[in-house]
Amino acid sequence: MPRPPRTVLAALLALTAVTALATGDAAAAPGRPDPHRAGVGQDALPPWPAPADASAAVAAAGLEMLSAEGMVQHTHTHLDVLVDGRPVTVPASIGIDEPRRRISPLHTHDTSGVIHVESPRRAEFTLGQFMAEWQVPLGQDRIGGLHAGRGRHLTAYVNGRKAAGNPAAIVLHAHDEIALVFARDTDRGPVPKDYAWPHGL
């Protein structure tokens, strides 16, 4: 005797979900996030991991990969990212391709938020280049999948002072403290003004 239509539909949905999990296509399973999009790409929400292919991300940022850290220009900038008052981790190994043993002039070694600028030639490096390496889009009204509007805004600060214009254009200077703050319009929380630099940095 044939099954009622609802039973058949339920069975097909269950089979689709199981197949999706087995093949790794979680997007096909109802109610589950797609692991291939979570934390990566134009519309992702934090946290944002380091890119799987650092060399491709660095090339997209318009920078070159080096065989070793450059020492002609050697400075450090600190970056804080705050979303609704909560810190977002800046991952380790942004700009570092360990399998290929290559490294960008802009990179991170740990999750402290310190951006290392280690270049074989002098140049002006920007926050936008670093964020492109991280694959987190940054503009005047957005960071990653977070868009300003509807009572929320994005503000950039350098050493505690509000930065005008597009934050992607901020130049990375030695020992600057940069804060990207995405918050409600009514939020008046404290903004990082400086960073306790370890000896030697």
Does 147 or 43 have the greater pLDDT score? 147
Whole-prediction pTM: 0.80
Which backbone phi and psi does 147 adopt, to 5 degrees?
A: -115, 135
Query: What b-and-e string marks burial along 78-114, b requiring 16 or more CB atoms within 10 Å of the CB?
Result: bbbbbbeeeebebbebbbbbeeeebbbbbbbeeebbb
Q: Let me know: does 152 contact 158? Beta carbons within 8 Å.
A: no
Peptide bond into 198 cis (omega under 30): no
pLDDT band at 97 (very low <50, low <70, confident <90, very high): very high
